[in-house]
Amino acid sequence: MSYNIHHANPPSVPGKIDLDAIAKTIADQKPDLVALQEVDVNTQRSGKINEASMLAMKLGMKGLFFAKAIDHDGGEYGVAILSKYPISEQQIHRLPTKEGTKGEPRVLATVQVNLPGGKKIRFASTHLDAQQSDMNRLLQIAEINKIAQQEQLPLIIAGDLNATPESAVIKQFDEQFTRTCQDCAFTIPVINPTKTIDFIAYRIGSAFEVVSHQIIPERYASDHLPIVSVFKLN
């Protein structure tokens, strides 16, 4: 599952933090792995709560990794990974931003997921630059592709790429990854969505088979629709 949670602020209720709505949306799908974006940890605007650890607790997840992208409002803000299975080898990869563009720093969070039966995979969560220009996103996708080329384990990446399927960013992404949808349904805005910018994909050559991909029509909790893909590991 991939979900940009808008720091648990329902867009229709400015200033409100409703972490239970996010938790219910995730719980209803019963995911094994969740990539989260726009996660607050101990910020003033979210009531000084650790959204990542509270979601892990509410969902009964064994694995949790929060990766700070920036300091924000007295706390931290970034991406997170939740896992039903034990995780190890947590790593934060700093993604490039061209000097002078005023792009917000971005990261790729990766973990090793230790599956039943001794199998291991790599799972990643990211959130790319949100500026109108593709410049920083192209730099960031190039870095992600470079990291993927060096990976030995089967790799799944999920997140908000802030780029649509026809963009140069996704064309470059497709050089290293197979997306779980090709004719992808729209993920933003939640009311009358018009764009697809949230994706789940696996590195080309990884031993995965995509069983299904779907958009979850939850229109209250965040400004993005969550997406869920089912994989078979061969």
The angle at the Cα of 193, spanning 187 to 195, to the nearest 5 degrees, equals: 60
What is the CATH topology of the domain spanning 2-233? Deoxyribonuclease I; Chain A (3.60.10)
pLDDT tens per residue across span 114-164: 999 999 999 999 999 999 999 999 999 999 999 999 999 999 999 999 999
Query: So what's the pLDDT on residue 192?
Result: 96
Q: If we measure between CA atoms, which residue out of 182, 114, 106, 113 comes closest to residue 144?
A: 106
Per-domain residue ranges of the chain: 2-233
User: What does pTM read for this prediction?
Assistant: 0.97
Read off the pLDDT band of 90 (50, 70, 90).
very high
* Alpha carbons 230 and 170: distance in angstroms, whole number: 21
